[in-house]
Chains A and B, each alone.
Chain A
Amino acid sequence: MDYIWSGIKEAGRLLLSFDKEVYKIIILSLFVSTTSTILSSIVSVPMGIYFGMKEFRGKRLFSRLVYTLMSVPSVIVGLIVAILLSRRGPFGFLNILYTPTAMIIAQTILVTPLIFGLSYSLSKNRGKIIENAGKTLGAGKFDIIILIIRELKVDILVNIVTAFSRAISEVGAVMIVGGNIKGHTRVITTTISMMNSMGDYPMAIALGIVLLIISFGVNSIIYSYQGED
């Protein structure tokens, strides 16, 4: 049991002394996951809302496909991106495998079905009511889009945060396409996984605490926002 306690103490020291390596890992994790979530949201939120409200043939099957893709395993995404970006792959000429860019691409692909699916489900359930309310008051198409986004903004934000949480906590995709290279592509989850296999618990615990703090912080912001609304 001693090694757990000493691990926690050492984790505290690493965090409070602003250990360069630890903070580099934290910053890269935040950068990769935030960028991929933002990039995905820009496309997936409006698309999800649009398809959720649009009536078309085969919408039921489409819904099932969307919901299935929401739970696609991260290693599968990592594998596909790695194949595409590998030297022999179709995008090998870009030479970006084992870089943060590849990690952003993989996480963007990973969270896109999630943000799209949650926005799709949200607008499918509530978008029509809002659209009808706007229509009956004389709102044009553009007014209705603005109205829907304004009315659903808290839920949309919660969905984006859910996707961010998935991105920052996943290990499979970033491990495969990033390679966990020290000082270059090492992020919180890949470090925890590696440190655990090496039996080096202090760093793993320190980063585990940071992951929990990030998760707590993000959720607190959302809850306070929901409360105000």
Chain B
Amino acid sequence: MKVSLNNIKKYYDEKLVLDIEELEIEKGKITGIIGPNGSGKSTLLNIIAGLDRKYSGTVTYDRQVINKDIYSKMTLVSQKPYLFRRKVYDNIAYPLKIRNMDKTEIKKRISEVISRLEIEELKDKKAHLLSGGESQKVSLARALVFKPELLLLDEPTSNIDPESIKVLEREVVKFNKETGATIIIVTHNLEQSDRICDNIVYLERGRVIS
């Protein structure tokens, strides 16, 4: 899914926090958004995710404005994900259940994704009681399981140990290669963006520098 942003202006209490004249996110690529704190990275991601609608300008997804169909094809994994008050398994099953997928397929997909992300031991735990790092892994599993065309990641490895970071990066890249999904990742980690991103967007004070 190609994402195009035009003349985006976002204000917080009359302060301009995002000012993007034109930005195109290439379809099927991994794009990293980097920049210092307060540069508007997460705001930009929330706008693309359709969670923040209070801005001027246009965002299109394969030339369409946001609609129900687009919502169902994309997802956002936030830095502090909200996991539902149920078991990890049921959290991961949620996006599949609301898409009316049959039980056999749900089981198959969940077993595949938890094995890939190496979180088998978390399967039966209550999700809202997990640590920050575990929550991020489960949140990524819940996002990958329904194979979105646009995957938005907001510092998905900020609370994770180095070993798990490797696993997550490996799986994000693999997911991109296997499905051709467009991935946008906000990160502070320049090495990480070098390792996994095809393109980099540098934001400073709400503007695209390069």
Contact = CB atoms under 8 A, between A and B. Distances in A.
B82 A129 contact: yes
B50 interface: yes
A81 B106 CA distance: 55
Contacts of B51: 132, 135-136
Interface string A134-148: 011111100100010
Contacts of B29: none
Nearest to B69: A138
A52 to B, nearest CB: 17
Interface in B71-127: 71-76, 81-82, 84-85, 94-95, 98-99
B98 A133 contact: no
Residue among A135, A136, A138, A140 facing the most chain B CB atoms (10 A cut-off): A136
A229 B85 contact: yes
| Contact-size category for A | 10 to 19
A115 to B, nearest CB: 21
A34 to B, nearest CB: 27
A151 B72 contact: no
B76 A136 contact: yes
| Contact-size category for B | 20 to 34
A191 to B, nearest CB: 42
Secondary structure class of chain A's binding surface, majority of residues: helix
B93 to A, nearest CB: 11
A129 B98 CA distance: 18
A105 B98 CA distance: 40
A130 interface: yes
Nearest to A129: B82
Contacts of A147: 84
Contact of A138 (B72, B82, B84, B85): B72
Nearest to A138: B72
Interface string B134-148: 000000001100100
Contacts of A138: 71-73, 75, 95, 98-99, 146
Nearest to B126: A229
A35 B146 CA distance: 44
Contacts of B142: 137
Interface of B: 49-51, 68, 71-76, 81-82, 84-85, 94-95, 98-99, 142-143, 146
